[in-house]
Chains A and B, each alone.
Chain A
């Protein structure tokens, strides 16, 4: 049997890109051995399935980013967050040896819901629960929405990794009681 020749990271990225081609809205190479592709939130399950069926690496992490809009307060240099305007960005990092493909989806504050990928990758449940607790992303069809990280008496609809969160005040604490 001929010995399998290991593929270079560039070749791996090319193979992954071809599998995702139909859904790519835009792409970017932030560093060597990396490819970031922006896709529509509705297509997340298709994209993940395409990579998994190809056995292209594994889901290393889901990063959730809060990207609010800022305004500069008049007469000062301080920035403040505009409520209700902005997006939560989800980054699905797939690692295949040295190559990393990141699927990026943007969810507006008004509708931060996306299909769960647990059907395709069962172990993603921990990552999804983390993103939903800390940034308020709703994963449709995720098997468990129980609290994973935050304490049981944490107030509902308060997401600590949102930029607008600066700490619990007494009002929040009392609401819970």
Chain B
């Protein structure tokens, strides 16, 4: 006996508020049975008017404001702003300062990638991996506190240089920390490439080809996991990256597994860089004098944040405040890729695919509403996560 009926379609809306992590965002997935057929986003729940805010403050105040654009990658924002302001003023920070900027940036990348590893593992239901990676992340957080005094918003930059120096005690601690983390990272690499249950959730999931990645404008590890050879640190070295170059890391596969492998390989590269910088730190001053008023001009400052290319466009007008500061964060570029990738995948894969781009949003934890015709169901993100885990059991 056969009955003809229309396939049931409903919209799963996720977000926007999430009390545990920062940056809320709202998504709506249209699903046909189990398969996602459309995805849309609504951002701006934490729009704070910072770009406008810079116009009413002077450059020194703006440095502190921009450090607070993001809580995870605060240093790269301050660094991008400082580098841009220095270019406009025609000032060059001394080599020791540039090397310390790179050092802090790489430590920040280590903490960010380990944080992501934990979040992504948690979304897939691998909570032991989550606990371990976050425990190990404490090592790098402690190191950041040791050298800057802060676990987040390290405030290492000043206009014209940096305000922190590295002494022998700190150098020893950094070496010890890197050795420990490297040892642990071998274990993580083994888990994400060999563990069968883990591979069941990552291999061939969320596939993005190189051509797609380029068309959708994906950046950072998300793009590099699809074989796109693009890293601002390599292409257009800034701060200390010309003296302490970084090796480009790519993976051809383009699936979730490749995104894990790229980020873990980048961890190794960061450990190597940290060691090299502290062993060969150039001698000299930490900062140079920076004028209060900056002559008229325009500049683009690009840096490689943990999530990809971060772009600052700055325009000065001869006063002590900028005329315009435009910030384009890497997550904005990666949204397009996630929204396109979602289509055709199972609802159960959504937590991992969303987490796979390492979105600086982690926002969707509060409520999921499943509108199943007249029977609307309310799910929390936790319910969707559990649904995904149960689906693959």
Contact = CB atoms under 8 A, between A and B. Distances in A.
To the question of whether A and B form a pair in one complex, the answer is yes
Interface of A: 30-31, 33-34, 55, 58-61, 63-66, 91, 93, 95, 97-98, 100, 102, 121-123, 125-127, 146-151, 160-161, 163, 165
Interface string B323-353: 0101010001101110000000000000000
7 contacts: A31-B87, A34-B300, A60-B302, A60-B311, A100-B300, A123-B336, A161-B51
Given A147-B44, A149-B44, A97 B236 contact: yes
A126 B326 contact: no
Given A58-B214, A60-B328, A30 B51 contact: no
Given A61-B328, A149-B44, A31 B311 contact: no
A136 to B, nearest CB: 14
B66 to A, nearest CB: 16
Given A63-B324, A95-B311, A102-B300, 9 more contacts: A55-B214, A60-B333, A61-B311, A123-B215, A123-B333, A148-B42, A148-B44, A163-B55, A165-B52
A12 B32 CA distance: 45
A34 B311 CA distance: 14
Given A123-B217, A148-B42, A91 B313 contact: yes
B43 interface: yes
A161 B298 CA distance: 18
Contacts of A122: 215-216, 336
Given A31-B87, A123-B216, A65 B315 contact: yes
A65 B324 contact: yes
Contacts of A102: 300
Q: Which 4 pairs, one residue from A and one from B, show the smallest C-beta to C-beta distance?
A: A149-B44, A123-B336, A61-B328, A98-B236
**A58, A65, A126, most chain B CB atoms within 10 A:** A58
B217 A121 contact: yes
A161 B52 contact: yes
Contacts, number: 79
A126 B336 contact: yes
Interface of B: prevailing SS: mixed
Interface string B41-60: 01110010101100100000
**B299, B315, B328, B332, most chain A CB atoms within 10 A:** B328
Nearest to A160: B52
A58 to B, nearest CB: 5
Nearest to A60: B311
Contact of B43 (A58, A93, A148): A148
Interface string B296-309: 01111010000001
A160 B299 CA distance: 23
A76 B262 CA distance: 59
Q: How large is the interface on B (under 10, 10 to 19, 20 to 34, 35 or more residues)?
A: 20 to 34
A172 to B, nearest CB: 15
Contact of B47 (A66, A127, A150): A150
A95 B43 contact: no
A123 B49 CA distance: 23
A47 B236 CA distance: 25
B235 interface: yes
Contacts of B326: 61, 63-64
Given A58-B214, A61-B328, A149-B44, A93 B300 contact: yes
B379 interface: no
A33 B235 CA distance: 11
B42 A146 contact: yes
A66 B52 CA distance: 11
Contact of B309 (A30, A34, A95, A146): A95
**A59, A95, A146, most chain B CB atoms within 10 A:** A95
A151 to B, nearest CB: 8
A97 B230 contact: yes
Interface string B33-76: 00000000011100101011001000000000000000000000
B381 to A, nearest CB: 22
B299 A30 contact: yes
B217 A63 contact: no
Nearest to B44: A149
Contacts of A127: 332
Contacts of A123: 215-217, 333, 335-337
Nearest to B339: A123
B49 to A, nearest CB: 6
A63 B51 CA distance: 11
A110 to B, nearest CB: 22
Contacts of B299: 30-31
Given A34-B300, A126-B335, A160-B52, A150 B214 contact: no
A80 B309 CA distance: 37
B322 to A, nearest CB: 12
Interface string B96-129: 0000000000000000000000000000000000
Contacts of A161: 51-52
